[in-house]
Amino acid sequence: VLHTGWAARADRHHLHHLVGAFAMAYMSVAMAAAPGAHAGHVGHAGHADAGVPVLTGALLLYFAGYVLWSGARLAPRAVASAAGGTAVLGWADRSEVALACRLSMGIGMVAMLLTL
């Protein structure tokens, strides 16, 4: 977290990594501190909420918005071509692996925050 915070001074993209690292640390501490965290899974009858609801909600909104933003960037888009018309970028013309990775990581964070 400290390294990412230091790197965020120079590159704004590192802020997202800082939020993600903080969220992971927050979730692990909140789940470890929850009453009955080590009692085994016996259903949800004795399930107690873990974490600070306002902070969990804020992180959930952030990552839900990030998932929507990342998903929208996966759609093909039209670009101006050299011939003066517009062309639609195909799936092979863009680096989709990185975008799909960001999307899946965001979905995973939303799922973990929902179960917190």
Q: Is residue 45 part of a domain?
A: no
Q: Is residue 42 part of a domain?
A: no
Give the per-residue pLDDT at 49.
Answer: 66
What is d(CA 28, CA 34) in angstroms, rounded to the nearest whole number? 10
Average confidence (pLDDT) over 2-31: 80
- pLDDT digits over 44-84, tens only? 555 556 778 899 999 999 999 988 888 887 776 665 566 66
Task: Please tell me the total count of domains within the chain.
Answer: 1
Q: Is residue 44 part of a domain?
A: no
Q: Is residue 106 part of a domain?
A: yes
CB-based contacts of 87: which residues, under 8 Å, 6+ apart?
A: 78, 79, 80, 81
Q: Is residue 23 part of a domain?
A: yes
Q: Which domain holds residue 65?
A: 2-37+51-115
Which is more confident, 79 or 31? 31
- pLDDT digits over 80-113, tens only? 566 666 666 555 555 666 778 788 888 888 888 8
